[in-house]
Amino acid sequence: MTTTTTPVSVTTPVTRGAPLSWALTDARVLIGRSLRHITRSPEQMMVMLFLPVMQLLIFRYLFGGAVATGDVTYVNYVLSGIIVISVMFNVTSTSVAVCNDMLEGIVERFRSMPMLSSAVLIGHVAAALLRNGVSIGVMVGAGLLVGFRPEAGFVDWLAALGLLALFVVAVSWLAAMIGLVAKTVEGAGGLAMPLVFVPYLGSAIVPPSTMPEVLRVIAENQPVSVMVDAVRGLFVGVPIGNTGWLAVAWWAGILLVLVPVTGRLFRRKVAQR
């Protein structure tokens, strides 16, 4: 007797929300991976915590008496600038980490898995945001110990932290792009290092009004200065004019350009392997 069997489909139905949930899971896993790398790296902890505090102490006690900042005390003036400089220091680690992933073969291993390829970059950027959040908290705490006296209300604090988050995310995508372009891990750190000096050519440390004319024009109109001025004004409770909107326009625009460019560069680099 011949038995006829009816084929049974073993295909699991895919719901509309499944791809999104998988993408979020991939990103969460790689964010955790990046954070574990940070906590296991003493040099990153030094850049994240020790170096910014030392800079604050140096500018507060060695140079503060020589810089005139009008009605705002120098520590209130310089803290927002030191925070932005510390962000630039921190994102050099993102460049190195991205380059290291591209060179050590981990990306090829990820390609063999059913995962969102861009989760690699998302993990590094999200880890940079969390790393800088801790660093900013430490900086504000250290500032309070050495005389920083903010006048910001709750809304002002939210606005300042929101601007800083936008800045960190945008600069982190830039650092990720540098890590993709670099040929070696050492080269990634070297290519990212000029970012550290951009805030100095601005209003981070001294008022641009003290600079020569050409430098003053550059310092007053470059995007990092706009961010520093907006955050400083929110911290110390002075009118920020249109600097807040300009900071959003600058860095949101930069972010909108960097994300697709970096993603395309990442896919091209992976396809070449």
Surface-to-core class of residue 16, CB atoms within 10 Å of its CB (0-12 exposed, 13-18 middle, 19+ buried): exposed
pTM over 0.85: no
User: Do 82 and 124 meet the contact criterion of CB atoms below 8 Å apart?
Assistant: no
Residue of 207, 252, 249 whose CA lies nearest to 225:
207
In order along its 273 residues, the chain shows pLDDT tens digits of: 444 444 433 333 333 444 545 556 666 666 666 666 666 666 666 666 778 888 899 988 887 777 777 778 899 999 999 999 999 988 888 898 888 877 876 666 655 555 556 677 888 888 888 888 888 999 999 999 999 999 989 999 999 999 999 999 999 999 999 999 998 988 888 898 889 899 999 999 999 988 899 999 999 889 999 999 999 999 998 888 899 999 999 999 999 999 999 989 988 877 766
The DSSP annotation for 54-106 comes to HHHHHIIIIIGGG---TTS-HHHHHHHHHHHHHHHHHHHHHHHHHHHHHHHTH
Sign of CA dihedral 108, 109, 110, 112: positive
